[in-house]
Structure 1
Amino acid sequence: MRDADNENSTAASASASAAAADGQTDRELRRASAAQRQTLRRLLIELFVIVVLTIPICIYEFAVEPERRGFFCDDESIRYPFRDNTVTPLLLGLLTGALPFLVFAVVEYVDSMRAGELSSTVELLGWQLSAWCVELGRQLTYFMFGMLLTFDATEVGKYTIGRLRPHFMAVCQPQLSDGSLCSDPINLHRYVENYECAAEGFTVADVRQARLSFPSGHSSIAFYALLYTALYLQRKLSWRSSKLVRHFLQFLLVMLAWYTALSRVMDSWHHWSDVLTGSLLGVAGALITARYIAKLFQSPFHAVSLGVGLRREDTSATLQEVCPSTPPPYCVNSSYSDDQYCTKV
């Protein structure tokens, strides 16, 4: 009879253990499902933000006409000859898109390889992805977000101001509403608002671009992308063999941005103030993105050193000095008895 009770007790315990295990498994599955839903929600929100930031760029480029500003016929700052771009839009895309992507990919791969985590995987929405690929995607998301912010700010300035490029006269070839030309002596100091562009040898798009001088888009995008990449290297890249390689690469990146900005004045596509404003806009975008969005320079908690600079001292001598007047248990060699201590406290 006792054996039967023991068997029943064992079976009940096993059933209870199995039920507890099933309950724990269900809780783990629910937590995993909740985590997946939260990840999916975050990805959708971030994708929505990216789309929202892209919409103004498309509207400005295809549906908005820049502000139509007048000019003085004798304004020499807009009488420069037309020249092709030294840094073409394709080359700008390679410098500000392909180059940072290559740098991010190489650095994240090497960093993961050095840490011995190259084979580590992360489950994302049911897919097993390499941990370094997930980190690469996170860094690219931050980079793209800052790029869109800088691009939006640049487009607002271009289409709101509508400043004429240095080669405006060469492209527009304006004809005044009364049929006269700027070359006529009567129009020497005249401020012109009503005019039509003959634009012989140029397209309508060229004339439209001739009114988008401020600020320089090449300068803002180049300085944002390349300076952000330099800041990324400052945080991520370390080479024990040399301390100068990282700074040399950063110098090259900044010089590429600087040369891109200078080429806009050299090619007569922008005034110097356009380039200066665009460069400052790109620098501000890179610093804000690196500091407050990507948080590249936020110190981890474990890196905080507690007690740094505190001097260690031998307190035994001090303790012995105060012992005669200090009741137990604070003094080791005290002559106070328990009764005397009670009267003291």
Structure 2
Amino acid sequence: MRDGDNENSTAPVGRTDREVRRASAAQRQTLRRFLIELLIIVVLTIPIYICEFAVEPVRRGFFCDDESIRYPFQDNTVTPVMLGVLAGGLPFLTFVIVEYVSSMRAGELSSTVELLGWHLSAWYVELGRQLTYFGFGLLLTFDATEVGKYTIGRLRPHFMAVCQPQLNDGSLCSDLINLHRYVEDYECAGEGFTVADIRQARLSFPSGHSSIGFYSLLYTALYLQRKLTWRSSKLMRYFLQFVLIMLAWYTALSRVMDSWHHWSDVLTGSLLGIVGALLTAHYIAKLFRSPSFQDVSLGGTLRREDTSATLQEVCPSTPPPYCVNNSYNDDQYCTKV
């Protein structure tokens, strides 16, 4: 009896050990995945820092009589801080509210998930997942924008007002001899402007405000299409989506209005942001993934039917092997065939 008791007592312990090992393996896999994705995020931020602090944009020449770069300098209507609020703060607030309300409606606010040894609310985990997808797409769009800016080095519409170029031969663009001259060797006097302002005057293509604004706000609108349901009003979701798109549209228009970008810069930046939002929502976040055939459960919804009666009805005219209890022998079956 004592040996039997020992065997019975060791069985649950064995199962517990297997469960512990399985949980430990799952934790290691989760940690590995987290570190890999963190490394990817870090790698994506490296080109941004390199472009901003270690690389000079391509130095392009210009015609002294080019009127497209002779606009006066104006301050930004949508400042970088405002862009950060629109492209970062507004989506973050939207994700938090929608995920919290969705979890509350489903009655899952108290449910927890164990992640890397921490017990977190399930809606925290879902919020983190959505923010990760959003941030990943944002970094991709930002990288593509920075590569375009520093590779092309297009001059902004207010370039002449900020740079105030002085040719190496001592002459100025205002001199008649330089009226139709293409200038490559020049220095910027930049009186009243900083070195950073002069550098920014050579980063017109594509528009970063347009690409970042359209990506963030369009992605948020797509997220609302998938996640938000408003029982009191069918039009509320579409109204919010319209507001988001109009904010992105106004941000893009302000870049031409303030003479910070040419219209083609804004168009390209807007298309870049739109494509980035659509690709991220469809392929990365999978916001509009439809259930596959394997996800449909047939066993619990379809009722089995007894087909024996139907088979017996067709037996007199149907040769074997399709009918049961038939009176045909093999020779008769061959004759029938």
Q: TM-score, normalised by structure 2?
A: 0.91
**CA displacement, residues 193-236 of structure 1 (integer Å, 9 cap, x when unaligned):** 01111111001000000000000000000000000001111111
> Structure 1 residues 12, 194: closer, same or farther in 2, change over 3 A?
same
Q: Which runs of 5+ in 2 are unaligned?
A: 299-306
> Which residue is equivalent to 2:53?
62
What's the CA shift for 1:15? 1.4
1:44 paired with 2:35, answer yes
- In structure 2, the residue corresponding to 1:182 is in which secondary structure? coil
> Structure 1 residues 326, 78: closer, same or farther in 2, change over 3 A?
same
Q: Does the aligned pair in 2 maintain the 1:327–1:341 contact within 8 Å?
A: no
> Structure 1 residues 76, 326: closer, same or farther in 2, change over 3 A?
same
Equivalent residue runs for 1:156-171 within 5 Å: 156-171=147-162
1:235 paired with 2:219, answer no
What's the CA shift for 1:20? 1.3
What's the CA shift for 1:126? 1.1
**CA displacement, residues 68-126 of structure 1 (integer Å, 9 cap, x when unaligned):** 10000000000000000000000000000000000000000011011110100011111
> Which residue is equivalent to 1:270?
261
> Which residue is equivalent to 1:254?
245
- In structure 2, the residue corresponding to 1:265 is in which secondary structure? helix
In structure 1, C-alpha distance between the alignment counterparts of 2:81 and 2:165, rounded to whole Å? 30
- In structure 2, the residue corresponding to 1:119 is in which secondary structure? coil
> Which residue is equivalent to 1:326?
318
1:259 maps to a residue whose letter is Y
Question: May I ask how many residue pairs the two structures share in their alignment?
Answer: 324
**CA displacement, residues 125-169 of structure 1 (integer Å, 9 cap, x when unaligned):** 111111000100010001000000000000000000000000000
What's the CA shift for 1:299? 1.8
What's the CA shift for 1:327? 3.9
Instruction: Output the aligned Cα RMSD.
Output: 2.1
- In structure 2, the residue corresponding to 1:129 is in which secondary structure? strand
1:222 paired with 2:185, answer no
In structure 2, C-alpha distance between the alignment counterparts of 1:202 and 1:193, rounded to whole Å? 21
> Which residue is equivalent to 1:76?
67
- In structure 2, the residue corresponding to 1:101 is in which secondary structure? helix
Which of 111, 118, 143 does residue 109 from structure 2 map onto?
A: 118
Please tell me whether Structure 1 or Structure 2 has the larger radius of gyration of its CA atoms: 1
What's the CA shift for 1:326? 1.0
Equivalent residue runs for 1:1-345 within 5 Å: 8=1, 11-301=2-292, 304=296, 322-327=314-319, 330=322, 336-337=326-327, 340-345=328-333
| Structure 1 runs (4+) greater than 3 angstroms displaced | 300-306, 315-324, 327-332, 341-345
**CA displacement, residues 10-50 of structure 1 (integer Å, 9 cap, x when unaligned):** x3332112111111111001011111111111111111000
- In structure 2, the residue corresponding to 1:270 is in which secondary structure? coil
Q: TM-score, normalised by structure 1?
A: 0.89
> Which residue is equivalent to 1:311?
none
Q: Which runs of 5+ in 1 are unaligned?
A: 1-7, 307-314
What's the CA shift for 1:342? 4.9
In structure 1, C-alpha distance between the alignment counterparts of 2:193 and 2:320, rounded to whole Å? 98
What's the CA shift for 1:317? 12
What's the CA shift for 1:247? 1.1
> Structure 1 residues 149, 269: closer, same or farther in 2, change over 3 A?
same
